[in-house]
Amino acid sequence: MLGDGARTLLAQAAASVGPRTARRRAAYAAVPVPSDLCPECGHPLHEPAVAAVPRQLAELAARYRRVLLAPGPDERLRRRPAPDVWSPLEYAGHVRDVLLVQRDRVVRALVEEVPQVVTMHGDQRVDLLAYNDAAPDELAEELEVAARLFGALVARLDDAQLARRCTYNYPAPAERDLTWVAWHTLHEVRHHLHDVERQLADPNATVTPPRGRRRGGGDDER
């Protein structure tokens, strides 16, 4: 379980982010870290081998493409079930940027000693970068490219490089090695695909289920 010092840091970090991100951090704080399963979606947080991460990312990116380009009205991809829940297109744009940001964080950890991860400002990016105005085919291609770039970097890392560390803010402030970063990134991609597929399967939903991610959830403020 988290110690008093980590909980203090978590409380300080929560004060600087929105209520949605703070709620998800609190959910993680209630379980042991690391945990075997995501406390929200139930998917595994850790994979059997880092070598599987590039292949699984490519497979997930292909699934995003199929979902984004499936026949149907374009509006279904841009509709938010509720004001504080991202649309499928916004989730996909977020995932693309997560992959690119994570790639840069890995590079930084390879050249610096235990660097402090800086927030990617996920909530703000959605509006500033107009995720919801993206063309679905272009976004699908960009997400696939981002998955290949991150996967290619992970595939080149040896054991010593995977053991290098950074100070990660999420789900609680802690030093994490690059093996954890690779697993965590894969989980983010998989989890948000679940969000997208669930929304498209139930277009009349007005809110995400209690264990689903809301706007600002996930790695937006890590």
User: Alpha carbon of 159 to those of 104, 162, 182, 192: distances in Å?
Assistant: 19, 5, 13, 29
pLDDT attached to residue 14: 44
Query: Rounded mean pLDDT of 205-215?
Result: 42
- Cβ-in-10-Å burial (0-12, 13-18, 19+) of 68 comes to buried
Q: Tens of pLDDT along 5-61?
A: 444 444 444 444 454 455 454 544 443 444 577 776 777 766 668 999 999 999 999
> Under a CB-based contact definition with an 8 Å cutoff, are residues 107 and 209 in contact?
no
Handedness of CA 173, 36, 24, 128 (dihedral sign): positive
Coil, strand, or helix at residue 212?
A: coil
Residue 209 forms part of a structural domain: no
Q: Tens of pLDDT along 112-138?
A: 999 999 999 999 999 999 999 999 999
Residue 222 forms part of a structural domain: no
For residues 11 and 162, which has the higher predicted lDDT (pLDDT)? Answer: 162
Q: What is the CATH number of the domain that holds 23?
A: 1.20.120.450
d(CA 159, CA 38): 25
Residue 190 forms part of a structural domain: yes
pLDDT attached to residue 19: 46
pLDDT attached to residue 205: 55
Query: Rounded mean pLDDT of 147-155?
Result: 98
Flag whether pLDDT at 212 surpasses 80: no
Residue 208 forms part of a structural domain: no
Residue 47 forms part of a structural domain: yes
pLDDT attached to residue 98: 98
State the total domains in the chain. Answer: 1
d(CA 102, CA 182): 9
- What confidence category does residue 214 fall into, taking pLDDT thresholds of 50, 70 and 90? very low
Residue 70 forms part of a structural domain: yes
Residue 217 forms part of a structural domain: no
Structural domain of 111: 4-201
pLDDT attached to residue 197: 94
pLDDT attached to residue 21: 52
Question: Which residues, 6+ apart, have CB-to-CB distance to 1 below 8 Å?
Answer: 32, 33
β 165-168/174-177 pair status: antiparallel
Residue 61 forms part of a structural domain: yes
DSSP string for 15-50: HTS-HHHHHHHHHHHTS-SS-SB-TTT--BSS-S-G
Q: Tens of pLDDT along 54-99?
A: 999 999 999 999 999 999 999 999 999 999 999 999 999 999 999 9
Closest among 122, 96, 113 to 214, alpha carbons compared: 122
Query: Rounded mean pLDDT of 199-204?
Result: 81
Handedness of CA 37, 38, 44, 49 (dihedral sign): negative
pLDDT attached to residue 176: 95
- Poorest-pLDDT segment among 39-43, 70-74, 148-152, 168-172: 39-43
pLDDT attached to residue 27: 45
